[in-house]
Amino acid sequence: MTSPALAGALSVPHGELRALFPSLGQQVDGRDAVFLDGPGGTQVPLSVMEAMSAYLSRDNANTGGSFITSQRTDAAVASARAETARFLNAARSEEIVFGQNSTSLWFALSRALARTWRAGDEIIVTSLDHDANITPWTLAARDAGATVRTWEFRTEDCTLRLEGLDALLTDRTRHIAFTHASNAVGTIPDVAGAIRRVRAKSPGATVFIDAVHHTPHNPVDVRALDCDFLGCSAYKFCGPHLGILYGKYEHLDRLEAYKVRPSYAKPPGKWETGTQSFESISGLRAALAYLESVGGMERIHEYELGLVRAFLEQARAVPDLTIHGLTDPARAGERTPTFGVTLEGWNASALAAQLGAQGIFVWDGHFYAVDVIDRLGLKDRGGLVRIGFAHYNTHEEVTRTIGALKELAERGPAA
């Protein structure tokens, strides 16, 4: 399944691009599988698997030794760190920290930051976020005796309005954590605008951005944003399971990390506990090279905008389908190609199961965005069905998915 009309948006023809992914060729009951599960973890090109295998078969060692495999390991980590800094536009590679996953890195950072918070300080989180960008901060606030305030999203269109933030920012605000894109409904808030307001009204606050769902779909520029910290996960952008934390060097240097005594005193080493997954770090480097080879994040974003518009336009033909979030194709740039939907009369898991049986892979439930499901009143319906397109998906897959939804909507749920 190729998209000749849109092949120009990426720098390789779409059919060739898809052929780089061994998993995409699978079938379910004689029909091509449609991978719309990307927000939970994207598929992986062969080059990433080969890089991981090459590391383990040739370079496998711990770091810092006076022998060739250890030196190659040091070089692999240094090169992946430099490439990741370039990917996020960080000022230096020492601002990039690797870890098991984003959640673990953020818990570690929250613990270190909380040592600087005092009773009466204020912390802001949102109701649009994945819980990995809520609970690390609320537990740290509890430990420090700080007050937690919540920036609520508008349930009508699942957007975070800057006016809502204005009402929360004070000179006691010490930390604010919010998302670059919602993993449940796809909304991209005005992150740069929000950070400008934080700097103006709460100059003493640090800003943490969850870019886990944003990085697979859009360029990320930590310097243009002027955030203090930002997190993302390689397995969401065609890499292996690995967490990445960006922090401004001054913060990573100044804060006291929880670490064992003989490990590095300076960033990034002081934040990297234990032995890293060097094979995953090698795979990350290959994933970044892959993204560059198909045109880079600007072009991936352009291609995906076409998928967003096509889905929103075609979805109008599905009776009783609700897309929770932005639905105006003219505002396609304010969302990712991730659609949180409900179909009247259907429980989310029943609908996902019907699609799964047809070879269309979608997630259902809360995806750890528990407050989103709560505020949308969807707890009793099994949450949302999440239809998540990635740049390897095609327009034909949009049409097939809409067709399947339409048929299920017309048929109604089984008794």
Residues that bind ligand PLP in the complex, under the rule CB under 6 A: 101-103, 130, 132-133, 183, 210, 212-213, 233, 243
Q: Which is nearer to ligand PLP, 117 or 178 (CB)?
A: 178
Whole-number minimum distance, CB 367 to ligand PLP, in Å?
Answer: 7
Whole-number minimum distance, CB 195 to ligand PLP, in Å?
Answer: 18
Whole-number minimum distance, CB 57 to ligand PLP, in Å?
Answer: 26
Q: Measured in whole angstroms, how far is the alpha carbon of residue 165 from the centre of its chain? A: 22
Whole-number minimum distance, CB 104 to ligand PLP, in Å?
Answer: 7
Q: Which is nearer to ligand PLP, 233 or 394 (CB)?
A: 233
Q: Which is nearer to ligand PLP, 188 or 350 (CB)?
A: 188
CB 218 within 8 A of CB 260: no
* Dist. CA 398–CA 305, nearest whole Å: 13
DSSP codes, 285-322 = HHHHHHHHHTTHHHHHHHHHHHHHHHHHHHHTTSTTEE
Q: Which is nearer to ligand PLP, 140 or 405 (CB)?
A: 140
Q: Which is nearer to ligand PLP, 284 or 408 (CB)?
A: 284
* Dist. CA 335–CA 322, nearest whole Å: 16
Query: Closest Cα partner for 195 from 183, 211, 219, 212?
Result: 211
Q: Is the peptide bond before 262 cis (omega within 30 degrees of 0)?
A: no
Give me the amino acid identity at 10.
L
Whole-number minimum distance, CB 357 to ligand PLP, in Å?
Answer: 24
Q: Which is nearer to ligand PLP, 346 or 368 (CB)?
A: 368
Which residue intervals of 294-394 are DSSP H helices? 296-315, 348-357, 370-375
CB 94 within 8 A of CB 117: no
Q: Which is nearer to ligand PLP, 288 or 404 (CB)?
A: 288
Whole-number minimum distance, CB 101 to ligand PLP, in Å?
Answer: 3
Q: Which is nearer to ligand PLP, 295 or 325 (CB)?
A: 325
Q: Which is nearer to ligand PLP, 189 or 243 (CB)?
A: 243
b/e burial code for range 125-155 (CB count within 10 A of at least 16 → b):
bbbbbbbbbbbbbbebbeebebbbbbbebee
Q: Measured in whole angstroms, how far is the alpha carbon of residue 151 from the centre of its chain? A: 20
* Dist. CA 98–CA 113, nearest whole Å: 18
Q: Which is nearer to ligand PLP, 202 or 233 (CB)?
A: 233
Which residue(s) pair with 365 in the sheet? 384
CB 129 within 8 A of CB 177: yes
**Encoding tokens for residue 161?**
């309005």
Whole-number minimum distance, CB 287 to ligand PLP, in Å?
Answer: 14
Whole-number minimum distance, CB 257 to ligand PLP, in Å?
Answer: 19
Whole-number minimum distance, CB 41 to ligand PLP, in Å?
Answer: 8
First to last CA, the chain: 35
Whole-number minimum distance, CB 127 to ligand PLP, in Å?
Answer: 14
Q: Measured in whole angstroms, how far is the alpha carbon of residue 310 from the centre of its chain? A: 22
Q: Classify strands 96-99 and 243-247 as parallel, antiparallel or unpaired.
A: antiparallel
